[in-house]
Amino acid sequence: MLVSLWHFLNGNLKAEDQFPLERAVETFCSGVMPFGPFYEHVVGYWEESKRRPREVLFLKYEDLCRNPQEQVRKLALFLGREKGIDVEKVLWRSSLNRLKELEVNKNDVCAVAPHIPNSIFFRTGTVGDWKNCLTPDMAQRIDSLARVKLQGTGLSFDDE
């Protein structure tokens, strides 16, 4: 999430105003992020999904990439739309590659922020791509923070 956000923010800045990755890691670990501390949001939604499973569905992107058919079925069941669902059609229609190639996403701008091109919302979609950006020290710092913040919640993230 951090690397994607970093790319997104820098994609909206001039070259001289770019946000260094080291600073992005620092602000992330300090909890100073747009919309607030990441782990507090994640744990909050996780806890609500356990308290109110019929009202809050918690999915992880890594699980969606690992087994997309199962996750689409889980989403359909949550929405009460499991009967007659064409899982493969849903996967095709929502695939990153297809969405990136839609004319509206290649050439239009965000409706609520016209200075932002829609294309900025689509990057690689690759689980584990952070390894191409973060240093081992950065990754270790984030992993340590995640262990502390998620301790006792029953929630964990893969090492991908």
What average pLDDT does this structure show over 15-40? 91
- pLDDT, tens only, 73-125: 999 999 999 999 999 999 999 999 999 999 999 999 999 989 899 999 998 88
What ranges in 31-120 are assigned the alpha helix state H? 38-51, 61-66, 68-79, 87-93, 96-101, 103-107
Six token digits for residue 133: 């950006």
For 83: left if phi > 0, alpha if psi spans -120 to 50, otherwise beta; the answer is beta
44 pLDDT tier (thresholds 50, 70, 90) = very high
pLDDT at 152: 95
Percent of the chain at pLDDT exceeding 90: 79
33 pLDDT tier (thresholds 50, 70, 90) = confident
Looking at the structure, give the CATH architecture of the domain made up of residues 2-150: 3-Layer(aba) Sandwich (3.40)
Q: Is the pTM of this model over 0.85?
A: no
Question: Which of helix, strand or coil describes residue 36?
Answer: coil
CB of 1 within 8 A of CB of 127?
no
| Domain layout of the chain by residue ranges | 2-150
What stretch of H or E contains 25? helix 21-30
